[in-house]
Structure 1
Amino acid sequence: MSPIDPSPAPSRPSAVPPLTPEAVDALYARLAAALPEPRSELDYVNPYTLLVAVVLSAQATDKGVNKATKGLFAAADTPERMLALGEDGVRQHIRTIGLFNAKARNVIALSRDLVDHHGGQVPQDRAALEALAGVGRKTANVVLNVAFGHPTIAVDTHIFRVANRTGLAPGKTVRAVEDGLERVTPDRFRPHAHHWLILHGRYVCKARKPACATCAIADLCGYPDKGAGPGRAGA
């Protein structure tokens, strides 16, 4: 796996017991009711630009990536145009993003692979995606889900935390959590599960200040420190 698309480092999985199937169903139902059609917070115009945006988002914020890709995608929204722009051109657009030198190299390398081996199209195959520069399992899952509607669940640090903290899919590793989510998530919720969980972790079930008092699934969640409230406890 590329060093700039690492699996999120597991923090401290809680000892929260797994939720019952009924609680899992209710959890997703509430998240779905609050946000029926969740969308990626990364800006993109086609599967290729989504792929590039996700690669650039490793160790960077979506807001920062969107700021950089506004000009980049205006100049190059296909692999062929990105190759014409060149590594130096890519680097100039993404200098504000962490690891921009390695990311510029990877964007050019994956663009070349797409042109040489996939007719300039983003493949809908996990193995083919993971063979591209800068693309690991998490990135492949995001692209398969967002661009092509595959019911994959990419696990980042937010989802890893939510899955462990709530008891939705406890696991000591990223892959264990992903496999657990695949097992317990009802089929009707699978297409949007990734977005519901990441947005919940990003804005509600935050690492240091979980907003338990206003959380829609607080009564289902197994997290033991809900009474601490934002700003005090919360790991």
Structure 2
Amino acid sequence: MNKEKRYEIFSRLRDQNPNPTTELDYNSTFELLISVILSAQATDVSVNKATAKLYPVANTPEAIYKLGVKGLTPYIKTIGLFNSKAENVIKTCKILMDQYGSEVPGERAALESLPGVGRKTANVVLNTAFGQPAMAVDTHIFRMSNRTRIAPGKTVLEVEKKLMRNVPKEFLLDAHHWLILHGRYVCTARKPRCGACIIEDLCEFKDKTEYD
């Protein structure tokens, strides 16, 4: 795909949604971090349902750490992998308290050193909370990047690096959100809604569907 096509794609996505953001509900950088940890292999909807009950009770490292694994688990038991996530969240709270003054660090290495925080989670926090250009490649972005040929790659990291190179700079900060939302609601896994897609004429996917 040439750069002119990529520019037009992101221009249209921006026109459609000028101020995109995550669908996770949060009111602080710490809440965002915890929600993203909980969202691994889970839907944003399921995480939001859980944190709607958790955060009014505990939404700081100290408060969640005080709950402990046994106290935290009932709040997140509807989320996949809740046992391991509960342990990671409690360990992360302890590290934030001990090493970072209960603040979420804004550096990749520091974020990735926290239990339950991998590269994708770190990218979400860096991008959404700290306004840094970063690309959290989830299944939606991976699928869409390959289908459209915006940034084809065989691995998540390869797609991430290509996106960071290929997305025009003026769109880079919000591109992560546009791609996720488009992949979640339009360029869906089983049957993409090509007939309802604002970039259908620019997309290089060969097996377009006729239905919206």
TM-score, normalised via structure 2 length: 0.98
Match of 2:50 in 1: 68
The alpha carbon displacement at 1:229 in A equals 3.7
Residue 160 of structure 1: which of 127, 142, 151 is its match?
142
> Unmatched 5+ residue regions in structure 1?
1-18, 231-235
The one-character-per-residue Cα deviations of 1:43-77 (angstroms, maximum 9, x if unpaired) are 11101110000000011111000000111111111
Gaps spanning 5+ residues in structure 2: where?
Answer: none
Q: Is contact 1:83–1:108 with CA below 8 Å preserved after alignment?
A: yes
1:186 corresponds, among 158, 161, 168, to: 168
> Does the alignment pair 1:199 with 2:169?
no
Query: Does the Cα contact within 8 Å between 1:209 and 1:229 map onto a contact in 2?
Result: no
The answer for the alignment partner of 2:123 in structure 1 is 141
Give per-residue Cα distances to partners, 1:29-49, cap 9 Å, x unaligned: 000000000111001110111
- The CA distance in 2 between the partners of 1:149 and 1:227, in whole Å, is 36
| 2:101 matched residue in structure 1 | 119
Q: What SS class does the counterpart of residue 75 from structure 1 fall into?
A: coil
Q: What amino acid maps onto 2:81 in structure 1?
A: L
Aligned length: 212
Cα distance in structure 2, aligned partners of 1:65 and 1:24? 33
Distance in 1, Cα, partners of 2:161 & 2:137: 10
The structure, 1 or 2, with the larger RCO (C-alpha pairs under 8 Å, 6+ apart) is 1
Contact in 2 for aligned 1:38/1:192 (Cα 8 Å): yes
Task: Confirm whether residue 46 of structure 1 aligns to residue 23 of structure 2.
Answer: no
Q: Letter of the aligned partner of 2:170 in structure 1?
A: R
Counterpart position of 1:98: 80
The 8 Å contact of residues 123 and 129 in structure 1, kept in 2 or not, is answered as yes
Could you say what secondary structure the match of 1:226 adopts?
coil
AA matched with 1:183: R
Q: How far apart are the structure 1 equivalents of 2:138 and 2:65?
A: 29
DSSP-derived class of the 1:121 partner = coil
What is the aligned partner in structure 2 of residue 33 from structure 1? 15
- Percent identity at matched positions? 56
Output one character per residue of 1:56-115: Cα deviation in whole Å (capped at 9) or x when no partner.
001111100000011111111110111112211110100111111111000000000001
Conservation of the 8 A alpha-carbon contact between 1:80 and 1:111: yes
| Secondary structure at 2:56 match in 1 | helix
SS at match of 2:187: coil
Across the aligned residues of Structure 1 and Structure 2, the Cα RMSD in angstroms comes to 0.9
**2:68 aligns to what?**
86
- The DSSP-based 3-state class of the residue aligned with 1:132 is coil
Question: Corresponding residue for 1:108?
Answer: 90
Q: Aligned equivalents of 2:153 and 2:202: distance in 1? A: 18
Tell me the CA shift for residue 228 of structure 1: 4.8
1:186 & 1:227 partners in 2: Cα distance? 28
Tell me how far apart the structure 2 counterparts of residues 77 and 45 of structure 1 sit (CA, whole Å): 9
Partners of 2:85 and 2:21 lie apart in 1 by 24
Residues 114 and 122 in structure 1, CA contact (< 8 A), matched pair in contact too: yes
Residue 206 of structure 2 aligns with which residue? 224
Give SS of 1:145's match. Answer: helix
CA contact (8 A) 1:166 1:221 kept: yes
